[in-house]
Amino acid sequence: MADRRDNHLQGRVSVITGASSGIGAASARALAAQGARVVLAARNAEKLNALVTEIRDAGGTATARITDVTRLDDVEGLMEFAASEYGPVDHLVNNAGLMLFSKWSDRAVDDWDKMIDTNLRGYLHAISAALPGMITRQSGHILNLSSVAGIRVGAASGVYSATKFFIRGITDSLRQEVGITHGIQVSMISPGVIDTGWADKVSHTEGRQIAQDLNQGAIHPARVADAVVYALDQPADVTVNDIVIHPTRQDW
């Protein structure tokens, strides 16, 4: 039996989408500090390069590739890049996402489409690109970042919540299929309100105000990164299915 104090992250190859800021960046720092070789993916080259430098200066191992998760060829290229740099991908941290609040009456179709493209297609693209290698090796770990909005719908979060309910559905399905059949670990973390700057990205006035009010008392992304480390730092015969994290003084 493996000692529970063993480090199961040392030398592992961890691909993180949406890694340029927020939960993705905090998770990259935390995983690299535990010895994982992190591959950072996002669209912002300046932020990615700065984070790679920060991790390397701290003694960690990191590299980055500009990636648009809404493009399947981009994500497939990311997995190929990770394998060429460090070897087969052990962990996929599916994190890239958009949280754009609006009322239904706003008819914010552009925002809805952006969330569908990133929060749904982006996750599917990453899973599709990571799965073949994991199935071949009969090992690996897929960690999907969801949200408490995928458990309970709040004001002006209708479409965003729907995308997170989707993530819960595909996570459960993955666990039942590739977990049982191929020994791949599948986990999900559902954070509450995290201070990632998301509220400032909301374009519709009323939705922005709701988001900014909700963001009061939000917790730091590093708290979620702690959960990411915990979920991934497990022996191959253990899966942490579902972790829910939210600020103590908020009800969702």
Cβ atoms within 10 Å, residue 28: 31
Collapsed DSSP state (helix, strand, coil) of residue 115? helix
Question: How far is the CA of 14 from the CAs of 73, 87, 91, 134, 162, in angstroms?
Answer: 19, 10, 5, 13, 27
Which residues make beta-bridge pairs with 90? Answer: none
Phi, psi of 55 (to 5 degrees): -65, -45
Is the separation of the CB atoms in 205 and 10 below 8 Å?
Answer: no
**How far is 225 from 176, CA to CA, in rounded Å?**
25
Which of 86, 123, 160, 230 does the annotation list as catalytic?
160
Phi, psi of 115 (to 5 degrees): -70, -40
230 is catalytic: no
**How far is 244 from 249, CA to CA, in rounded Å?**
15
**Closest C-alpha among 171, 112, 130 to residue 17:** 130
Rounded to 5 degrees, what angle do the CA atoms 67, 30, 163 make?
50
Instruction: For residue 105, give the DSSP letter.
Output: G
Element (H, E) at 225: helix 221-232
Catalytic residue IDs: 160
